Structure 1
Amino acid sequence: MSFTTLNGSIPTLDAWAGYVSHAQAHLPHSSRLLLLALLNTPLIVIILNVLRQLIIPRNPSEPPVVFHWLPFVGSAVSYGNDPLNFFFSCREKYGDVFTFILFGRRVTVALGAKGNNFILGGKSTVLNAEDAYTHLTTPIFGKDVVYDVPNDVFMEQKKFVKFGLSTENFRAYVGMIEEEVEDFMTHDPTFKAFQSNDVTEWGTFDVSNALAEITILTASRTLQGKEVRSNLDKSFSGLYNDLDGGFTPVNFLFPNLPLESYRRRDRAHKKMSAFFVDIIKKRRAGNDEAEHDIIASLLQQRYRSGNALKDHEIAHIMIALLMAGQHTSSSSGSWSLLHLAANPDVAEALYQEQVKYFGTPDGKLRSMTYEELRSLPLMDSVIRETLRLHPPIHSIMRHVRADVPIPATLSAPSKDQIYVIPKGHYVMASPAVSQVDPRIWKEAREWDPYRWNDPEGVAAQAFKTYVDEGGEKIDYGFGAVSKGTESPYQPFGAGKHRCIGEQFAYLQLGTILSTIIRRVELRIDRVPEHNYHTMITMPKTPRSIHYRRRNFD
């Protein structure tokens, strides 16, 4: 008999017997008894945990609990290594609703479109996001913003940011982003082969590293303002890296560890906050040289109470925008380029789309406008399909503030009984599961942007539900939006916590991809697997793409 191992660290019963025999032969009697107890304690704990699950009847009013060997740790290893396969495996055994143990937390998962609707469309007074995430986000973003304030205040802050994401600003951003990407490809060592005059020369670049730099350059040039952009090659970059080091699963699970990375995070936040406050003070004093950034917009906003935003609130909102947007956009851009490199026929079709819409009589390509970028059908499909297969966030949690029944249509074990999730537990939705569910999507795990071409197909209908949902719009405090909670396609979340940067993300991704595809051909043997050990789902290494400069002659 042997127990399942956790990275090989849980030995078999025979191995334990060997350890005990060796100890008994070399220690005094009292020490042997103590060591014997210590050596057997882990095994006894595991056995008791297993017996408890097998013998003690579970509460029939609560969802079934996923079997696990280790108490406290629970299913953390299986979930952390591959959450989607963990969810699909659990669905086969327990159905769409089940509970698993995650380092002492009892987390109830509700899968499928109905599960997403239950959790993401639930009342924030009962299924609360602030309680679930503030210990991770507040040390990074700062006090008095996002999940460090009551939900109604957060909704007002989202509205303030949304005012800055105007069509007028977007029109200005396209040229800025294109210019930043061109400058990066022309001067950064990452694209050394592109800078060569030899169009037959192939080079390679790590796609995630390159897109991380490009994303922060373009976001700072547009949203953050010229002061941030001009400091990216100075001390600001170091502060960003230290702050980014606190945005990991370890920080989420264990927010108060005495680690140097935590101390660097806290020092970086203090300095970055002061950096933004200094910019804000200068702007309030009349030194406002920016035209289209978010700071300029936030300086004009007021809460319903009539109070203007304080300097530190604006600073912390800007930090939140920088951190949250950079990760998600660089992840989506990386996956898009990897798939285009693995599917050169699609990449060539994307290039020909550029030629069709932006070609000039001399054989070159002119710059795009915002309205033109929005009208590119294949580019739109490439981004949608990439987000379907690789949503940046695979799991969304809420903390349960009061006992909450799960709708009978989702979980009823019988007509007369429904599950109830107790106060103090957590709930989790996974739109990522719905987006690759073989019961919904044909060839669900295949990257096929052309699936979005059929107006009557699953993809188009899912997208229509996401953006329209029967024409129903709800104003959660930041403007009327579709709930989107009933759709199996939710790349930017749904409900009141739906990402307000959705349109900017399409703009940023579309412009970056268009600019790169215009200038280089891409190749890769295969698309890497997902790395689920990061907060935002990134491709595993190696993730180097081969490229060469297009011949424009």
Structure 2
Amino acid sequence: MGLLASVAGPLAERMADTPSSYIVVGSLASFFVLTIVLNVLRQLLFKNPNEPPVVFHWVPFIGSTITYGIDPYKFFFACREKYGDVFTFILLGKKTTVCLGTKGNEFILNGKLKDVNAEEIYSPLTTPVFGKDVVYDCPNSKLMEQKKFVKFGLTTEALRSYVTLITGEVNDFVSHHKGFQGSKGKINLPPAMAELTLYTASRSLQGKEVRERFDSTFAELYHDLDMGFTPINFMLPWAPLPQNRKRDFAQRKMTRTYMDIIEARKAAGGKKDSEDMIWNLMSSKYKDGTPIPDAEVAHMMIALLMAGQHSSSATVSWIILRLASRPDITEDLLQEQKDILGADLPNLTYEDLSRLPLHSQVVRETLRLHSPIHSIMRKVKSPLQVEGTNYIIPTSHVLLAAPGVTSKQSEFFPDPAHWEPHRWDAGHALAPQGGAGKVDEEEEKVDYGYGLVSKGAGSPYLPFGAGRHRCIGEQFAYVQLQTILVAMVRLFRFRNPDGSDKVVGTDYSSLFSRPLDSAVVEWERREKGENEKE
């Protein structure tokens, strides 16, 4: 009995101390279960016939966030099969209405300013990266003027000069990069192509002076700034996270770099010794006659550099990954160059790009399957009725367009998952259907304040968006991508390490879709004389 008492006494005391803990844990568990039950009942019993169907979800705030984030396209197609082209899902507590198909693209991307707004969605993410008073941190009318300034710096004459500059950067890069030393080897494409496109974009769009500052330190700053484009910063751009502290330091440092260039030019009397985008912006004025402030020029240069590098970085990686899965296409490309430009493969010119249809089709087909941005969002500013339905989208919702869905639909692109550049050949069995093969010149034009552009939203193929926020760097992107492709085909053969035709999956963890690491290919340098003039 004494032993029993000696054990039972302390045990009873400990049990007396624990009921409150059990009650707290039990209460939290009960609350969580009750929340889920009520959320499910609300979805089943209280459906609003005047709003799009809501994608079923268990946890209220989380909703479909995880499923959407892992693979947006898989999520979109699954929801389309169950709910149709218009549906709503919960994205971190926000009701997000998706409108798929060409009508959905038109509805959102060509929406009127009074109805839909991009600035409220993207400003929290982009302003800490680009800086104040540019892009989405200013009224739309001012953004249209800024786009006009930049567009005037992308003249045909400028693009013509960029071909030579980009080719030079590619040749210099592959001769010095450790991943391309020797006659053959392997290389992890995403980091290598990110570095290459940083150099090509800075040299062409921003000039020799900026390019010369891109040492390893500046490249690291760019990387830290790029890390600001993480999904959490849609909601918490101010959060004291390590990557955000690095982002803010990099933003200040890069702004100071551009400001130093501007101030030095002004101190020298403002006399141009070259022509580049900085000079173009320094000499531009807003409609009210106000010159662009130096800080805004610096911030616009940051935005321009990131725009010229981001999508091209991922797309160049995808192009080479696809060529590694189809070595026959690489040889077709080299043969096209020899047939059209000459067997001695003379130096590439801007005019040559339009004479190389297969090269253009490789870029086009890669963008079809690997659109850089999978989701384009707008804040609803006034209730909107979806044409052909009784759905009214309230102002509490966010609208989401996904043009990459239509470019993967079989009704527009037969065997849509198959990468086949020759599908764009006239009369090919896999040729685009339903207007998907229209060229830009055939589209209706509209001026949003920065010159005539194709509305384009009715097309199933919209790798650069549509409407007033259509990417103004589209033409530059094609020039950059095709020029890099021409140079790489002249220099290398590519194949998968295992000899298969497989391609790595997609990383959707940031705003931009990119290949998963490690995306490694084998390369073999072509023999001297096989790919260039002696």
Give the alignment's TM-score, normalised by structure 1. 0.89
Of the three residues 315, 329, 342, the one matched with 1:359 is 342
Q: Distance in 1 between matches of 2:439 and 2:345?
A: 35
Q: Distance in 1 between matches of 2:221 and 2:28?
A: 45
User: Which runs of no fewer than 5 residues in structure 2 stay unpaired?
Assistant: 1-13, 530-534
State the secondary structure of the residue aligned to 2:57.
Answer: coil
Q: Is the 8 A contact 1:466 1:486 kept in 2?
A: no
CA offset at residue 455 of structure 1? 6.4
Q: Which residue of 2 aligns with 1:155?
A: 144
Counterpart of 2:525 in structure 1: which amino acid? R
State the secondary structure of the residue aligned to 1:458.
Answer: coil
State the secondary structure of the residue aligned to 2:112.
Answer: coil
CA 1:148/1:534 → structure 2, altered by over 3 Å: closer, same or farther? Answer: same
Q: Distance in 1 between matches of 2:403 and 2:97?
A: 15
CA offset at residue 325 of structure 1? 2.3
Deviation digits for residues 478-509 of structure 1 (CA, Å, limit 9, x no counterpart): 10111001000001100111111011101100
Q: Which residue of 2 aligns with 1:18?
A: none
Q: Distance in 1 between matches of 2:16 and 2:370?
A: 56
Q: Is the 8 A contact 1:455 1:461 kept in 2?
A: no
Of the three residues 9, 12, 31, the one matched with 2:21 is 31
CA 1:288/1:260 → structure 2, altered by over 3 Å: closer, same or farther? Answer: farther
Q: Which residue of 1 aligns with 2:4?
A: none
CA offset at residue 26 of structure 1? 9.2
Q: Which residue of 2 aligns with 1:235?
A: 217
Q: Distance in 2 between matches of 1:96 and 1:110?
A: 6
Give the alignment's TM-score, normalised by structure 2. 0.92
Q: Which moved more, 1:531-540 or 1:104-113?
A: 531-540
Deviation digits for residues 324-380 of structure 1 (CA, Å, limit 9, x no counterpart): 2211001111111111111011110001112223335xxx42211101112211001
CA 1:331/1:33 → structure 2, altered by over 3 Å: closer, same or farther? Answer: same
Q: Distance in 2 between matches of 1:467 and 1:298?
A: 29
Q: Which residue of 2 aligns with 1:100?
A: 89
Q: Which residue of 2 aligns with 1:7?
A: none
* Aligned: 1:429 with 2:405: no
Deviation digits for residues 194-247 of structure 1 (CA, Å, limit 9, x no counterpart): 4xxxxxxx3001111111011000111111122221111153222212111111
* Aligned: 1:368 with 2:348: yes
CA 1:459/1:345 → structure 2, altered by over 3 Å: closer, same or farther? Answer: farther
Q: Which moved more, 1:41-50 or 1:421-430?
A: 41-50
State the secondary structure of the residue aligned to 2:346.
Answer: coil
Q: Distance in 1 between matches of 2:179 and 2:18?
A: 64
CA 1:179/1:304 → structure 2, altered by over 3 Å: closer, same or farther? Answer: same
Q: Distance in 2 between matches of 1:498 and 1:203?
A: 39
Q: Which residue of 1 aligns with 2:372?
A: 392
What is the correspondence of 1:274-313 to structure 2 with a 5 Å cutoff?
A: 274-285=256-267, 286=269, 291-313=274-296
Q: Which residue of 2 aligns with 1:15?
A: none
Counterpart of 1:277 in structure 2: which amino acid? M
CA offset at residue 183 of structure 1? 0.7
Q: Which residue of 1 aligns with 2:519?
A: 543
Deviation digits for residues 282-341 of structure 1 (CA, Å, limit 9, x no counterpart): 223336565342112112222111111111111111100112221100111111111111
Q: Which residue of 1 aligns with 2:5?
A: none
Q: Which residue of 1 aligns with 2:11?
A: none
Q: Distance in 2 between matches of 1:97 and 1:291?
A: 51
State the secondary structure of the residue aligned to 2:438.
Answer: helix
Q: Which residue of 2 aligns with 1:145?
A: 134
Q: Which moved more, 1:440-449 or 1:252-261?
A: 252-261
Deviation digits for residues 400-449 of structure 1 (CA, Å, limit 9, x no counterpart): 111111112xxx2xxxxx11111131000000000001232100111011
Q: Distance in 1 between matches of 2:385 and 2:434?
A: 33
Q: Distance in 2 between matches of 1:500 and 1:330?
A: 17
CA offset at residue 452 of structure 1? 0.7
* Aligned: 1:248 with 2:222: no
Q: Is the 8 A contact 2:272 2:279 kept in 1?
A: no
Q: Which residue of 1 aligns with 2:314?
A: 331
Q: Distance in 2 between matches of 1:230 and 1:164?
A: 20
Q: Is the 8 A contact 1:223 1:292 kept in 2?
A: no
Q: Is the 8 A contact 1:465 1:486 kept in 2?
A: no
Q: Distance in 2 between matches of 1:292 and 1:528?
A: 41
Deviation digits for residues 88-107 of structure 1 (CA, Å, limit 9, x no counterpart): 11111111100000001111
State the secondary structure of the residue aligned to 1:464.
Answer: coil
Q: Distance in 1 between matches of 2:220 and 2:322?
A: 31
Of the three residues 445, 464, 477, the one matched with 1:492 is 464
* Aligned: 1:226 with 2:226: no
User: Which runs of no fewer than 5 residues in structure 1 stay unpaired?
Assistant: 1-23, 195-201, 413-417
Q: Distance in 2 between matches of 1:394 and 1:290?
A: 41
Q: Distance in 2 between matches of 1:289 and 1:243?
A: 30
CA 1:26/1:221 → structure 2, altered by over 3 Å: closer, same or farther? Answer: farther
Q: Distance in 2 between matches of 1:211 and 1:318?
A: 21
CA offset at residue 254 of structure 1? 2.8
CA offset at residue 466 of structure 1? 4.6
Counterpart of 1:377 in structure 2: which amino acid? P
Q: Is the 8 A contact 1:451 1:459 kept in 2?
A: no
Q: Is the 8 A contact 2:435 2:460 kept in 1?
A: no
Q: Distance in 2 between matches of 1:52 and 1:507?
A: 52
Q: Distance in 2 between matches of 1:240 and 1:308?
A: 27
Q: Which moved more, 1:455-464 or 1:325-334?
A: 455-464
Q: Distance in 2 between matches of 1:129 and 1:466?
A: 24
Q: Is the 8 A contact 1:452 1:460 kept in 2?
A: no
Q: Which residue of 2 aligns with 1:208?
A: 190
Counterpart of 1:514 in structure 2: which amino acid? V
Q: Distance in 2 between matches of 1:229 and 1:289?
A: 17
Q: Which moved more, 1:26-35 or 1:101-110?
A: 26-35
Q: Distance in 1 between matches of 2:211 and 2:292?
A: 23
Of the three residues 372, 381, 389, the one matched with 2:361 is 381
Q: Which moved more, 1:245-254 or 1:324-333?
A: 245-254
The number of residue pairs the alignment matches comes to 509
Q: Distance in 2 between matches of 1:242 and 1:541?
A: 18
CA offset at residue 79 of structure 1? 0.5
Q: Distance in 2 between matches of 1:289 and 1:185?
A: 32
Q: Which residue of 2 aligns with 1:531?
A: 507
Q: Distance in 2 between matches of 1:496 and 1:214?
A: 30
CA offset at residue 140 of structure 1? 0.5
Of the three residues 469, 487, 511, the one matched with 1:515 is 487
Q: Which residue of 2 aligns with 1:464?
A: 438
Q: Distance in 2 between matches of 1:379 and 1:528?
A: 22
Q: Distance in 2 between matches of 1:281 and 1:507?
A: 31
Q: Is the 8 A contact 1:282 1:288 kept in 2?
A: no
Deviation digits for residues 230-273 of structure 1 (CA, Å, limit 9, x no counterpart): 11115322221211111111222432322121122112111211
